[in-house]
Amino acid sequence: MSELLEIVQARRSAMNFEEGVKISPAELEEIFTLTRLAPSAYNLQHAHYVVVSNPELKEQVRAAAYNQYKVHTASAAIVVLGDKLAYEKAPEIYGGLRALGVMSQQDYDGLIGTITGAYANNEAYQREEAIRNASLSAMQFMLIAKEKGWDTCPMIGFNQEEMMRVLDIPDRYVPVLLITIGKSVKDNIRPRGYRKPVGEFVTFR
């Protein structure tokens, strides 16, 4: 079995963490360096992460997450945001390819026009794409974290408005997930829940 398949099968949503375990900025940066390779529409890289490891601030995040205990014991609480205005960075993202001659001026202008046409003045689409693409990034983060020996739990149980207030998040971002990360308490691991057989969730045509 390949290492990837082992990681996919080993990854579980951690229900509780060993309290007091630290995760260093260097370890997190290593995970994020690989996370940034996740796919995104038009390579706009909609995902933005806010890492909270400061104990006092983490308790405020916990309060915004309805006082869930796993936020308290986690090494860090990571808020995954989607950038609704990610399309505004398209000229910067594609400018390098144009400068290198990989992309012609005509192709560059056409692509920027397509991106702007899809996103500008369409707030519903901006929000949908922010959530969709940040979710892709978040899944990659959790798999890489597992490969590095860290356990995670994706959470949607939090008050979005309160989380934005506590962390002073600009309006351009939409909170997508809260991910707790740390070392799972081993005797707290429950049997994996029921998983549908392939025939129940896949239709072959």
Cβ atoms of 144 and 10 closer than 8 Å: no
Report the pLDDT value the prediction gives residue 188, as an integer from 0 to 100.
63
DSSP classification of residue 149: T
For residue 8, pLDDT beyond 90: yes
In this structure, which amino acid lies at residue 204? Answer: F
Supply the mean pLDDT for the chain.
96
Q: What is the band of 186 on the pLDDT scale with cuts at 50, 70, 90?
A: confident
pTM for the predicted model, two decimal places: 0.94
For residue 39, pLDDT beyond 90: yes
Question: What are the φ and ψ backbone dihedral angles of 77, each rounded to 5 degrees?
Answer: -110, 125
Tell me how many helices (H) and strands (E) the chain has. Answer: 9, 4
For residue 162, pLDDT beyond 70: yes
For residue 190, pLDDT beyond 80: no
Going 128 to 71 to 19 to 187, the CA torsion angle's sign is negative
Report the pLDDT value the prediction gives residue 1, as an integer from 0 to 100.
64
Can you say how many angstroms the Cα of residue 173 is from the centroid of all Cα atoms in its chain?
13
